[in-house]
Structure 1
Amino acid sequence: MAATLKDLLAQRAALDEQIAQTKEREHADAIAKVKSLMSEYGLTAADLSSRPAKAGKTSKVAAKYRNQATGETWSGRGLQPKWLKAAIANGAKLEDFHV
């Protein structure tokens, strides 16, 4: 037998109530778990916000090109620096600056 619209709406209301109760219970469980961990490790709320996140390790890329006149360098990554663009525009070759 096919369910009526009224039956389906009643089922949806019952499910919505179950969802709300489950969310509340899981939220309370999560808070209890966090409090337990904080107590176990002696942490406070201030500890959670005072520790800066460690930035990912970044390594410098070795210079591939150097301006002998000024000592400026370029790794070959990203846009060419102005000093290199100007030198190339004045007739120099990229290879002239290779380290």
Structure 2
Amino acid sequence: MATYKQLTAQLEKLHKEVAVAREKEIAQAIVDIKQQIADYDLTAEELGFTSKRVPGRKAASVAKYRNPKTGETWSGRGRSPGWLTGKNRERFLIES
């Protein structure tokens, strides 16, 4: 029969293995999710990620452009994102 110290050492080793496995699986899940978001051209709203309005703050700008590879959006306000620089913006317009 294993001693308390041996079992504690095994438990600590398993906790580390669990953490490493979890990190790897999370990384792969994020890659898979991003790919599906891009494949299906999903929005945050369609996924149920809507922001709640905070009193005194302006409402978030509506996205006008979308990067089909990453799903990243831009409202057309402020500095143009790198993925849109030097490209025909009409190709990235989100149809209403």
Q: Which has the higher contact order (CA 8 A, sep 6+)?
A: 2
What's the TM-score bracket when you normalise by the shorter of the two chains? 0.3 to 0.5
Larger radius of gyration: 1
Query: Normalising to structure 2: TM-score of the pair?
Result: 0.45
Query: Normalising to structure 1: TM-score of the pair?
Result: 0.43
